[in-house]
Structure 1
């Protein structure tokens, strides 16, 4: 739920030569650059300090100045690395909070703007669809200006569209501004994993990434809980005002960050000291935009349909993600219909999903610490160049795959007027935990399988599928619960998760042989 700077020799290809590169050549160059970037540099120091206490004078900007280079974000103090991870998490939380903070006001939108509730739900669906454009929005900006630019510029532009949504007087302007608020706000979601890789050592990625992933899952869970009562007592516009307040605070918190992208740091160093810039695997000018589009979109779509590992986890994650977003109108309707909850009370039910997400993250980190991490430490202590097989990442998803159908059947058959409301609410907490375990595993497994560059495309494919389902499922959720009854609508979702349940088990057993096939480079561990 990437980054670049190679150790390759500096080249001076002309603009025409660069533009003549085929997409495959560009992908190979990017793959090498990404791999080199995430490898510790063994180069000898290329910096001198003429006098103790004076600023160091760099003589090369091709790579880090050895393993202790203070410009390397991984060498920053713990508090500083934690702050930058916090920026990523908070901005990701805010943009996903905007998805569901709208949902308690759907009926009031319909009433106020004189449309059906089905049309009003489009305000939720189009915002979620906009989030799928993250790689397209952030890819070129991150490569050209760095991660910091994405965080600093995307959020305020998104908040301006949110302001427009809150001031909308008709459904057309509301839907347009909601869509573009999602598109422009999606940047932090797209570069968050890159920032995590920038500031943390590979052995800590699983824990750091899972804490970052938690934020965009907590956002949707807490949206109805915090916006429900203000909307009930006032107007649907309160969902947008709360998003503006949260976004403004997050943006102010982000203003103190520094650049973390290796390529941009070295490029700025080269400019400061008048040195040749680091090698850029991307061609210059408009060809760079085309190359990034090829990697972030076209390559992602190709992997989505040709890579079994990418396809399977995209289907799995997109379905559970779709169910999560279907719950915003669906669960609200269930609790208001069965238990007579008000809009505010129904919103509080979603706290259970947030609690489940937190518990799922904790369980994921624990499983990683007792399975994958000890093996990685052992190989490191032995000086081995081998990697831990990626399939050792899959244990958490096996647990999540079992929890998901249990939680959905539990919810479906306990949401009855003669059973206390807390029983189906607890089921939602288990759904949140199972969903978190499956997605955390997918993110770390795809990274281990495809490496830095391949995993960027694999996760882009996963994101496109997830947000497409997240946008579509709310459109039929209430009709499904109303038409099939709560029991059988929930059971239908449960049966689908049973059909998907074998995926992590099959990849654990046959993953190595599956990795040996396909055109995209993969881990051979």
Structure 2
């Protein structure tokens, strides 16, 4: 019997995806005989020392250090340039809005880079993508620091972000391939936290560097972080199971099955990375509203890169370094958010596991952090809006930013886990790709009009406008928590089982 189109797609993906089975069985492909399957599966993959699940704790810790370092380098490179806004205007003679472009283009590139980097890592392996993209990103960062023109700076910043971006998208696959599900909580939290710490620490580092050395030193600083990341990559290993299995089969003299044809890989790439994410974004209510919610709150966070220096200089007379220190409130908020997510997992989600023995815990139980975080978002924004005044201490709006950052991380992590648990098979990657495109696309646009918005509306009403958006979207996780099972039943894609 000829394999169906869906079977062929699944078979091709089995050779390309990162969710490899821990068993010795090798993925089935069209045209592969039973004898070849037995040949290549002759050794016990579960007990093989090359299986990342069997690595010792030190080796696994090095993998976590590598992905955390790569994520931090990528995210700190995003915001470290934000304090250089005035220098760009002065050195290159550009307007206030145009001076934001090096930041916005980098953010936009973070949304586009994974479209190529993700599928590539599932073809050649994770390791070549890490070392190749970080190296290229570092070269483009070097070029940005040496650029004599503003146009060249913008182009090189975009290319640097595009190259660094895959390190964020494939890290989750690296964790899944290195740690068994029961041991993933701590490494996953470390990875998720580092991309949020970067945007908070970037302006702090950048404010001191720009004030004392000039904006070009922000790029040299990124390179220092990137060099450390490359050193961690040098001592890391490949984790993508299909690649490791093929290497082991070759070492053991086993018969290797034919690789899927290039046309099948290209078709799969176009479907999963390009067409399906857009289709899900437009037709799947779960994907649409979660992406809208996360994108708006991410965009609000990124608007602070332009708003905080403007407000704290204009209202409190802060200098560039003092304004940069305000961003530490984002770091503190993210740390508190990470603690909240872990507590919800331990105290609420894990208690559901015995009740659903042998079945998947309903994805809706992943939404507990989002439920509390959704309330924190508007509270933080309205608090910030009406306390950033001369007659009220600067500490009050600073704490308000902390509350917003806490809610933002809770919502992001919780909804991301919800998407991963809701969609099965090949649709998980597409759903997360849609999330990334929406999140970074909107986040790239917001800073471009933030200064005008705060200048014309004032701090109170400009921040309140963002607060009203947070209130309008607040019901999203609550609705999914109550009606998620019914919405999953209406989906056109493969989702969690209905009896869950």
TM-score, structure 1 as length reference: 0.88
* Alignment correspondent of 1:8: none
The separation in 1 between residues aligned to 2:284 and 2:168, in whole angstroms, is: 23
The separation in 1 between residues aligned to 2:391 and 2:350, in whole angstroms, is: 47
* Alignment correspondent of 1:51: none
Q: Aligned match of 1:201 in 180, 184, 187? A: 180
1:128 is displaced (CA, Å) by 0.7
* Alignment correspondent of 1:115: 94
Please state whether the residue corresponding to 2:423 is helix, strand or coil: helix
The separation in 2 between residues aligned to 1:396 and 1:452, in whole angstroms, is: 25
1:208 is displaced (CA, Å) by 3.2
* Alignment correspondent of 1:141: 120
The separation in 1 between residues aligned to 2:97 and 2:7, in whole angstroms, is: 47
* Alignment correspondent of 2:31: none
* Alignment correspondent of 2:278: 301
1:500 is displaced (CA, Å) by 0.8
* Alignment correspondent of 2:234: 255
Q: Deviations over 1:141-190 (max 9, x none)?
A: 21222011111110010011111111111111111101101111111111
* Alignment correspondent of 1:331: 308
1:373 is displaced (CA, Å) by 1.9
Q: 1:156 to 1:520 in 2, by over 3 A?
A: same
* Alignment correspondent of 1:7: none
Q: 1:385 to 1:105 in 2, by over 3 A?
A: same
* Alignment correspondent of 1:71: 50
* Aligned 8 A contact 2:382 2:463 in 1: yes
* Alignment correspondent of 1:291: 268
The separation in 2 between residues aligned to 1:393 and 1:161, in whole angstroms, is: 39
Q: Select between 109-118 and 402-411 the one with higher mean Cα deviation.
A: 109-118
Structure (1 or 2) with the greater helix fraction = 2
Q: 1:99 to 1:493 in 2, by over 3 A?
A: same
Give the number of equivalent residue pairs.
Answer: 488
The separation in 2 between residues aligned to 1:344 and 1:414, in whole angstroms, is: 21
* Aligned 8 A contact 1:96 1:216 in 2: yes
TM-score, structure 2 as length reference: 0.92
Q: Deviations over 1:114-149 (max 9, x none)?
A: 111211100100011111123222134212220111
1:70 is displaced (CA, Å) by 2.6
1:227 is displaced (CA, Å) by 1.2
* Alignment correspondent of 1:315: 292
Please state whether the residue corresponding to 2:287 is helix, strand or coil: helix
* Alignment correspondent of 2:408: 435
Q: 1:30 to 1:213 in 2, by over 3 A?
A: farther
Q: Deviations over 1:300-339 (max 9, x none)?
A: 1111111111111101111111011111011111111111
Q: Where does 1:245-394 land on structure 2 (aligned, <5 Å)? A: 245-277=224-256, 283-376=260-353, 379=356, 384-394=357-367
The separation in 1 between residues aligned to 2:418 and 2:102, in whole angstroms, is: 33
Structure 1: gaps of 5 or more residues: 1-10, 45-57
> Cα RMSD (Å) of the superposition?
2.4
Q: 1:215 to 1:514 in 2, by over 3 A?
A: same
Q: Aligned match of 1:192 in 140, 165, 171? A: 171
* Alignment correspondent of 2:442: 469
* Alignment correspondent of 1:3: none
* Aligned 8 A contact 2:143 2:156 in 1: yes
The separation in 1 between residues aligned to 2:168 and 2:416, in whole angstroms, is: 13
1:72 is displaced (CA, Å) by 2.0
1:35 is displaced (CA, Å) by 9.2
Q: 1:32 to 1:154 in 2, by over 3 A?
A: closer
The separation in 2 between residues aligned to 1:306 and 1:62, in whole angstroms, is: 41
* Aligned 8 A contact 1:165 1:240 in 2: yes
* Alignment correspondent of 2:162: 183
2:208 aligned with 1:229: yes
Q: Deviations over 1:95-116 (max 9, x none)?
A: 1111100100011011111111
* Alignment correspondent of 1:41: 23
2:217 aligned with 1:238: yes
The separation in 2 between residues aligned to 1:471 and 1:265, in whole angstroms, is: 37
Q: Where does 1:50-69 land on structure 2 (aligned, <5 Å)? A: 60-62=39-41, 65=44, 67-69=46-48
Q: 1:482 to 1:25 in 2, by over 3 A?
A: farther
* Aligned 8 A contact 1:34 1:453 in 2: no
Q: Aligned match of 1:520 in 483, 486, 493? A: 493
* Aligned 8 A contact 1:136 1:293 in 2: no
1:28 is displaced (CA, Å) by 3.7
1:413 is displaced (CA, Å) by 0.7
Q: Aligned match of 2:64 in 76, 85, 88? A: 85
* Aligned 8 A contact 2:24 2:41 in 1: no
Q: Aligned match of 2:389 in 416, 436, 444? A: 416
Q: 1:204 to 1:105 in 2, by over 3 A?
A: same
